[in-house]
Amino acid sequence: MHLILFGPPGAGKGTQAKILSQKFNIPHISTGDMLREAVANQTELGMKAKSIMESGQLVPDDIMIGIVKDTLSSTKCKDGFILDGFPRTVEQAKALDKIFKELNIKEVIILDFNLDEEEIIRRVTNRRSCKNCGALFNLLYDKLDDICPNCGAKGTIYQRDDDKEDVIRKRIEVYKKSTLPVKKYYRENDACFISIDGFGEIEQITQTILEKLTQVKVH
């Protein structure tokens, strides 16, 4: 199964991607996670992307396309994948179509997540991460103190710069300007598009996704 998760930042794509990855036993490919790892490892790519990510702007296409192509070409994606956070522009979508053609990847399904802007702000500004193990938490659901419940490290819980309110609002504006046209591009090219309401309990949203995917496969 080949899935693309589309929607504004904070709409629940990453959460559902992890669940679907386990359900279908296919890799969750988050370009955001890969970039943050590159920043943490201070690679050449990471150093280039660091200042761009912290300002809430989009990372240049050549960096993103290179990362995605290498990943989709790897053996871990031979049985399918869940692509999260890419494409974010029409040019990226066109480049991804070329990659799919080169790699003979067919029957791609797009899950389009929708969520109210203020709910996005509420969710994202409550996100926290562990500097030691990289685990993600949310103050809306998780009770946190000075110790990471995942790895036990002390004093490592923090709020990422790209989860702060001023940055997330910029990211939403960038999404509206640069990424919403991608939806129009896919619709005009008869892509398999499934609309997902991002508001509600995680388990409920997962069930809705699975039901809609089954309907697509049946038809």
Residues designated catalytic: 13, 88, 127, 160, 171
What CA–CA distance (Å, rounded) separates 212 from 111?
Answer: 10
Helix (H) or strand (E) holding 136: strand 136-138
Query: Which residue type occupies 172?
Result: I
Contact 16, 203 (CB under 8 A): no
Q: Considering Cα of 130, then 41, then 37, then 126, what sign does the dihedral take?
A: positive
Structure tokens at 196: 């997902």
Q: Considering Cα of 169, then 174, then 176, then 182, what sign does the dihedral take?
A: negative
CA distances from 126 to 12, 47, 138, 148, 168 (A): 13, 27, 5, 16, 12
**Residues ≥6 apart with Cβ < 8 Å to 198:** 7, 11, 12, 113, 114, 115, 205
**Residues ≥6 apart with Cβ < 8 Å to 62:** none
What's the number of CA atoms in the CB half-sphere (13 Å) around residue 17? 29
